[in-house]
């Protein structure tokens, strides 16, 4: 399956997908990487791997709807079958959602529907919860409100800082996101308003897709 990955920063989830592809754990091919920031280190990594890149900077497209349309055009030029938001720090709008209905996947550092939006780890610590984690979900018109595809849990420890919790959550993101992309690429997971997992690949414990043990 041809995918385009959207990034804003270091690209640790992009690296995790590339590693999974290299090791045969993810049946996808990255045909392009798009960023909203020219300085994103993920772009350099992509170029080193000979993956085509493109920057669609919001300041060069006004109003915001024009940026969203330019983003959809840039992603669509590669003929992607799936769009993966891997640390992309902007909300995609109607043009992107219309161009790729139920084909945009995001990874979020919290167990949705709890703590949507920015700073999921900080919200978890402020709320005093004992378990947090990450969620891979489809993107819809809301903010982190799309159908959940998979989740992984981590404990929130008494001495956790936002940074330490986020690092532990990211380790699970790096495992979970490539496995979901692989499941979609192999047809084990069918996307839509009510995603389904092929019976042969459903978790035996009745949980929702690819959920890790709670304390990892």
**Rounded CA gap, 199 and 25, in Å?**
20
**Rounded CA gap, 174 and 185, in Å?**
17
50 included as an active-site residue: no
The stretches of 100-208 forming alpha helices (DSSP H) are: 120-127, 162-185
Is-contact 93 65, C-beta < 8 A?
yes
- Structure-token match 């529907």, residue found: 113
Is-contact 81 1, C-beta < 8 A?
yes
- DSSP strand pairing (82-85 vs 148-155): unpaired
- Spatial CB neighbours of 216, under 8 Å, sequence gap ≥ 6: 152, 153, 154, 172
Structure tokens at 95: 């043009």
Q: Is the bond preceding 174 in cis, omega lying within 30 degrees of 0?
A: no
Catalytic residue among 50, 61, 108, 166: 108
User: Which residues are annotated as catalytic?
Assistant: 108
């Amino acid at each position: 399956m041809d995918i385009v990955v959207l990034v804003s920063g270091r690209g640790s989830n992009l690296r995790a997908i590339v590693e999974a592809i290299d090791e045969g754990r993810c049946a996808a091919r990255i045909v392009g990487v798009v960023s909203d920031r020219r300085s994103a280190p993920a772009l350099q990594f992509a170029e080193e791997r000979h993956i085509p890149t493109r920057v669609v900077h919001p300041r060069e497209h006004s109003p915001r709807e024009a940026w969203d349309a330019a983003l959809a055009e840039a992603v669509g030029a590669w003929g992607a079958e799936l769009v993966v938001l891997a640390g992309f720090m902007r909300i995609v709008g109607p043009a992107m959602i219309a161009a790729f209905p139920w084909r945009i996947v995001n990874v979020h550092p919290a167990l949705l529907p709890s703590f949507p939006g920015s700073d999921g780890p900080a919200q978890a610590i402020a709320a005093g919860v004992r378990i947090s984690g990450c969620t891979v979900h489809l993107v819809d018109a809301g903010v982190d409100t799309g159908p959940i595809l998979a989740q992984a849990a981590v404990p929130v420890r008494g001495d956790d800082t936002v940074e330490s919790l986020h690092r532990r959550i990211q380790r699970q993101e790096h495992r979970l996101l490539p496995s979901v992309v692989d499941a979609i690429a192999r047809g084990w997971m069918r996307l839509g308003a009510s995603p389904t997992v092929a019976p042969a690949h459903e978790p035996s414990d009745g949980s929702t897709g690819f959920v890790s043990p709670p304390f990892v």
